[in-house]
Each structure stands twice: as structure tokens, then as C-alpha cells.
Amino acid sequence: MTQTRPVIGVMACARQVEGESAQTVKLRYLEGVSRYADAAPVIVPSFQDPANAAAIVARMDAVLLTGSSSNIDPARYASSAPAMAPTDAGRDGFSAALVQAAVAAGKPVFGICRGLQEINVAFGGTLRDMRGTAGATTHHAPDDADLANMFAHAHDIDVIPDSPLARYAGAPRLRVNSVHFQAIDRLGDGLTPNATSADGIIEAISATHSRAPVFAVQWHPEWQPDDRPHDLAFWNFLGQSARTPFVPA
């Protein structure tokens, strides 16, 4: 008998398509779930009532919070700092509800780039914007870079021993792409770093007491991962986590 593939909910973003509001997911995230995690991706619209989160989670085996060009509004973590465009208010609200519902249900939650930031905020942490700081050029390519050069922008990170990242990546140092301006400032309650960059930015996190894995990375493992074993391992970790039988508390 063929094993049923797990179903992974993939967070969508607000976009304008042909002059209308739409919900979109870039194909590379769906391919990551289908091809590399060997799971069935289902797009989860972020523009909906947060009260729907528990019902959605109940029908999924895991949740993936994707990266996005949008920034989280600082008001979401009680900061008076101005919001930096582009923003996505619907995703800000629904992602927090989805993380909380998944943790409560004991379902795995994984995050990529903005997804890491969303998980940190959902756990009570804060963010900071690196634009205008010395770190901005380390963590994001110049504004005029094309797509290939934007994702070729990379730096080394140090993996924290005995962390989930250390176990699945199997190396003390990794080279990762870097396409972000927001970064973790105060780490959320119940989260622990898995890797840091030379300038102290937290590059990967996991939850310490959740019933299922909560794990996120600041880089983009979905971007052409075939030649990067640690990025392929991210997807394997997601797939295996989604296949782990759920045991009610």
C-alpha cells in the first residue's frame, strides 16, 4: 500500500494581480513541499478571519510560513517604530493565529525568512529593522540586484551544537543566502537560537517545549536547493515531522 502523503499548509501573501487583490504563493515554496518534503502542499490564504486557524490546522499535518517581500508591522509587537512598506496586515494577524493554533494542536510549524519573524512575534518576541545600519549590506543585496544576484548574496553562520539545526544539517558552520531587512531583536518566550551570524543576528530558531517541532530559518532553503545539502535537509526535516503521528496531550 502506498503511504499517504502528509498535507502541509503553505501560507499565502496579499498581492495585486491584474488590478485586483489576490492571495499568492511563489511556486518554489510549493515545489519545496512537494518535491523535497514529499508532501502535498495546500495554499492557506492569509486574508481571512483568525478564528478559522484552528479549523485549518485540524485538517493539516504541518504548517509552513513562507518568506515574503512584506514586513511585519511593529505594532504587532507593541513597538512605536514606523511600519516599513510593503506591509501585509492580513498576514500579520492570521499568521499569529495559525502559529498559536498549531502549537496548541501539537502540529509542526516551520518558517522561512518572514516565517521565522512571524513565529518569533507569535511567541512574544520583537524584531528590528536593519535598514540604515551596517548590518543591512550583510543581510540583503543592493536594491538594484536582479533575482539571481539577490539570492546569491550569502554569508556564513555558526550552528549551535546539539540544536535541531545541528542534528539535521550535520555541520558546525553553513553558508546561507540572505534576503531580509527585519531580524529578531528579543527572542520569543520558549524559543532558542539554533544559529547566529558573525554580527549576532539569530539565523535559526526552534521551540523548546512544544509537542511537535517548531522550527524556522532566516534564509531561503527553497531557492535552488539541489546543491546545498543543509537546505535539502530542511525539507526532509519538514516532511518527516509532518509524517510523525500526532499524539494528543
151-189 pLDDT per residue, tens = 999 999 999 999 999 999 999 999 999 999 899 999 999
Integer Cα distance of 226 and 51 in angstroms: 38
Has 222 been annotated as catalytic?
yes
pLDDT band per the 50, 70, 90 thresholds, residue 138: confident
Q: Return the CATH class of domain 7-243.
A: alpha beta
Active-site position among 139, 180, 220, 230: 220
From the list 139, 180, 203, 222, the catalytic residue is: 222
Active-site annotation holds for 13? no
Per-residue pLDDT of 208-242, as tens digits, reads 999 999 999 999 999 999 999 999 999 999 999 99
Coil, strand or helix at 161: coil
Q: Which of 13, 113, 118, 139 is catalytic?
A: 113
Q: How far apart are CA 177 and CA 150, in angstroms?
A: 8
Domain locations in the chain?
7-243
Give the predicted TM-score (pTM) of the model. 0.95
Helix, coil or strand: residue 93: helix
Computed over every residue of the chain, the mean pLDDT equals: 94
> Cα–Cα distances in Å, from 215 out to 37, 43, 159, 163, 190?
15, 19, 14, 11, 12
Q: Within 13 Å, how many C-alpha atoms sit on residue 153's CB side?
A: 19
Alpha helix positions (H), the chain? 27-31, 53-58, 89-105, 114-122, 136-139, 147-152, 164-169, 229-243
pLDDT in tens, 30-83: 999 999 999 999 999 999 999 999 999 999 999 999 999 999 999 999 999 999
Distance separating alpha carbons of residues 136 and 128, to the nearest angstrom: 11
